[in-house]
Amino acid sequence: MNTRKKWKISRERLGLTLLALPFVAFIIAFNYVPLHGWLYSFYDFKLGIPLFRNKFVGLDNFKFFIQDWRTILHYLKNNLIFQGLGMLTSIVPVILAILLSEVRSKGFKKLVQTTTTLPNFISMIIVFSMVFSIFSVDGLLNKVLAALGLIKGEPSSVLMNGPFIYVFITLIGIWKGAGWGAIVYLAGIAGIDSELYDAASVDGAGRFRLIWHITIPGILPTYVVLFLLSLGNLLSGSVEIPLIFMNSFVREQITTLDYYVYATALIGSDYSYAVAVSVFKSAISIVLLFGSNALARKVRGSNII
């Protein structure tokens, strides 16, 4: 390889590195710099007083955390239910991508893909207003059912049904994320060698067999890796969902560990204890992340992180 070619490759790599620097800086600024806040868990922090002027309490906040294990376990259970249902329904974007790949009409395919992707960009506040206007006690659904004579007694609302709220939030998540998640699998399907389909068709394989023996095996490694990596977020829960959908009927079911941390810090003003709980969650999430990476490495034969 001559010097000019080496110089050209070096310039290209330098250009790609410079393009990546803003994103690296963003990650460092918002994911690593805030880690110094873990120091708050070792102090009895009071708002308005510099950190090191507060009383040093050592591991007391972690001791309170251990003593409060029943409350933590309850909210952790909510996290696991929401995330577990999300992982179980992660197959929906795969199915949608396969169905879209089989559509021959480009216009209809673009229409469906746009329609299913658009909800990802709708604010959850707007989603709640739509859901409330349809499913609340005085919503459209109850009015239609009452007009048809299908409601006896007082109307009810899924927004106030504790056990069903898990399923309802999961369905909203599918509606918002299925189209967006299908993009990854559509790209994977597009990367499958078309000669495989041609050879199978010559051998007499129909459309279903092409999907079963070529399309699904072609995108299965991608799905498995994404599924395993999602284990690292098993303890992560949305703060937005409880803030928007919470009411007195579903408070115990919809409160996640992240919302508990938020409420403890910003509503209860117990910043140090909230940080201690957050440190615990982060530590377990790191273990899950490296564990999921080990599983993904066995699937793909290389490190993911």
Tokens of 40: 């708050």
> Would 8 be classed as within a structural domain?
no
User: Pick the residue with more confidence: 295 or 102?
Assistant: 102
d(CA 139, CA 128) in angstroms, rounded, equals 12
pLDDT tens digits for 237-249? 778 888 889 888 8
> Would 216 be classed as within a structural domain?
yes
Angle of helix 165-190 relative to helix 124-135, nearest 10 degrees? Answer: 130
d(CA 23, CA 299) in angstroms, rounded, equals 28
Share of the chain above pLDDT 90, in %: 15
> Would 190 be classed as within a structural domain?
yes
CATH number at residue 166: 1.10.3720.10
Q: Is the pLDDT of residue 303 over 70?
A: no
Residue 290: pLDDT band with limits 50, 70, 90: confident
| Residue 175 burial by Cβ neighbours in a 10 Å radius (0-12, 13-18, 19+) | middle
> Would 26 be classed as within a structural domain?
no
Q: What is the mean pLDDT of the chain?
A: 84
In sequence order, what are the residues at sequence separation of 6 or more whose Cβ sits closer than 8 angstroms to the Cβ of residue 40?
A: 51, 271, 272, 275
Report residue 177 CA to chain centroid gap. 9
In sequence order, what are the residues at sequence separation of 6 or more whose Cβ sits closer than 8 angstroms to the Cβ of residue 236?
A: 79, 83, 258, 281, 285
Q: Is the pLDDT of residue 227 over 60?
A: yes
In sequence order, what are the residues at sequence separation of 6 or more whose Cβ sits closer than 8 angstroms to the Cβ of residue 304?
A: 225, 229, 293, 296, 297
d(CA 80, CA 225) in angstroms, rounded, equals 20
Name the DSSP letter for residue 43.
E
pLDDT tens digits for 119-176? 999 989 999 999 999 888 888 888 888 888 777 777 778 888 878 889 999 999 999 9
> Would 193 be classed as within a structural domain?
yes
Share of the chain above pLDDT 70, in %: 94
Amino acid (one-letter) located at 184: V
Q: Is the pLDDT of residue 2 over 90?
A: no
Please give the model's pTM, rounded to 2 decimal places: 0.81
> Would 44 be classed as within a structural domain?
no
| Residue 246 burial by Cβ neighbours in a 10 Å radius (0-12, 13-18, 19+) | middle
Task: Give the DSSP H/E element, type plus range, for residue 55.
Answer: strand 55-56
Residue tagged 């990596």 (tokens):
229
Q: Is the pLDDT of residue 304 over 50?
A: no
pLDDT tens digits for 49-84? 887 888 888 888 888 888 888 888 888 888 888 988
Which residue range(s) make up the domain with 101? 75-123+161-300
| Residue 297 burial by Cβ neighbours in a 10 Å radius (0-12, 13-18, 19+) | middle
Q: Is the pLDDT of residue 32 over 50?
A: yes
> Would 260 be classed as within a structural domain?
yes
> Would 128 be classed as within a structural domain?
no
Q: To the nearest 10°, report the CA torsion of 280, 281, 284, 290.
A: -130
Please give the pLDDT value at position 7: 56
Nearest Cα to Cα of residue 172 among 113, 227, 131, 223: 131
Q: Tally the domains of the chain.
A: 1
| Residues making up the chain, counted from first to last | 305
**Taking the CA atoms of the chain, what radius of gyration do you get in angstroms?**
25
Least confident of 8-12, 24-28, 99-103, 104-108: 8-12
Residue 305: pLDDT band with limits 50, 70, 90: very low
pLDDT tens digits for 172-226? 999 999 999 999 999 889 888 888 888 888 888 888 888 888 899 889 888 888 8
pLDDT tens digits for 253-276? 898 888 998 888 888 888 889 889
Q: What is the largest CA-CA distance in the chain?
A: 85
Please give the pLDDT value at position 182: 92
d(CA 78, CA 109) in angstroms, rounded, equals 37
Residue tagged 């239609």 (tokens):
144
